[in-house]
Amino acid sequence: MRRIISLILWIVIIGTLAHFLATHEGTTQIDWLGWRLTARTSLLIAAAFIIIWLVLILDRMLSFLAGIPRALTRGFSRRHQRLGQRALALGMVAVAAGEGRAALKYARKSVHHLGHDVLTDLLMAQATSLSGDREAARRYFDALKKNADTAHFGHIGNMRLALEAGDEDSALLAGRAAMKLKPRTPSIADALFVLEAKHGAWDEAEIAFRIARQGDSDISAPHTHAHAEASILLERARQATAPRLKQKFLTRAIQADANFLPAILEQAEFFLAEQKTRKATALMERGFISAPHPRLAEKLLAHWSGTPAKKLARLIKLTEQGGNQKEALFASARVALEQGLWGEATRLAELIPMEARDTRIWQLLAELAEQNPDKTGTGASADSAMILRQNFNAPRAPNWLCASCQQVSDDYHAICPHCGTFAQISWK
Instruction: Transcribe 124-165 into DSSP letters.
Output: HHHHHHHTT-HHHHHHHHHHHHTSTTTHHHHHHHHHHHHHHT
Specify the residue, 103 or 414, whose C-beta has the smaller distance to Zn ion: 414
Specify the residue, 251 or 409, whose C-beta has the smaller distance to Zn ion: 409
Rounded least distance, CB 405 to Zn ion, Å: 3
Residues 64, 45: Cα–Cα separation, whole Å:
29
Calculate the alpha carbon distances from 419 to 6, 79, 167 in Å. 87, 55, 15
Rounded least distance, CB 219 to Zn ion, Å: 18
# residues contacting Zn ion (CB under 5 A):
6
Residues 239-258: x/- map of binding to Zn ion (CB under 5 A)? --------------------
Rounded least distance, CB 304 to Zn ion, Å: 36
Rounded least distance, CB 234 to Zn ion, Å: 17
In this structure, the dihedral spanned by the alpha carbons of residues 411, 414, 416 and 417, taken in order and rounded to 10 degrees, is -70
H or E stretch covering 314: helix 308-321
Rounded least distance, CB 325 to Zn ion, Å: 24
Instruction: Transcribe 158-223 into DSSP letters.
Output: HHHHHHHTT-HHHHHHHHHHHHHH-S--HHHHHHHHHHHHHTT-HHHHHHHHHHHHHTT---STTS
Rounded least distance, CB 406 to Zn ion, Å: 7
- CB under 8 Å to 167, separation ≥6 — which residues? none
Query: Euclidean distance between the first and final Cα of the chain, in Å?
Result: 92
Specify the residue, 177 or 403, whose C-beta has the smaller distance to Zn ion: 403
- Residues in 384-423 at the binding interface with Zn ion, rule: CB under 5 A: 402, 404-405, 416, 418-419
Calculate the alpha carbon distances from 235 to 171, 210, 275, 288 in Å. 22, 16, 24, 22
- Residues in 295-324 at the binding interface with Zn ion, rule: CB under 5 A: none
Residues 220, 154: Cα–Cα separation, whole Å:
25
- Residues in 92-151 at the binding interface with Zn ion, rule: CB under 5 A: none
Specify the residue, 134 or 418, whose C-beta has the smaller distance to Zn ion: 418
Specify the residue, 4 or 221, whose C-beta has the smaller distance to Zn ion: 221
Residue 1 exposure: Cα atoms within 13 Å on the Cβ side: 0
Rounded least distance, CB 90 to Zn ion, Å: 44
Residues 424, 256: Cα–Cα separation, whole Å:
17
Residue length of the chain: 428
- Residues in 16-45 at the binding interface with Zn ion, rule: CB under 5 A: none
Specify the residue, 385 or 419, whose C-beta has the smaller distance to Zn ion: 419
Specify the residue, 217 or 404, whose C-beta has the smaller distance to Zn ion: 404
Rounded least distance, CB 404 to Zn ion, Å: 4
Amino acid found at 209: F
Rounded least distance, CB 425 to Zn ion, Å: 7
Specify the residue, 174 or 414, whose C-beta has the smaller distance to Zn ion: 414
Specify the residue, 301 or 405, whose C-beta has the smaller distance to Zn ion: 405
Rounded least distance, CB 221 to Zn ion, Å: 16
Residues 347-386: x/- map of binding to Zn ion (CB under 5 A)? ----------------------------------------
Residues 52-91: x/- map of binding to Zn ion (CB under 5 A)? ----------------------------------------
Specify the residue, 238 or 418, whose C-beta has the smaller distance to Zn ion: 418
Residues 232, 253: Cα–Cα separation, whole Å:
8
Question: Is residue 226 involved in binding Zn ion (CB under 5 A)?
Answer: no
Calculate the alpha carbon distances from 338 to 70, 234, 346 in Å. 102, 34, 12
- Binding site residues, Zn ion, CB under 5 A: 402, 404-405, 416, 418-419
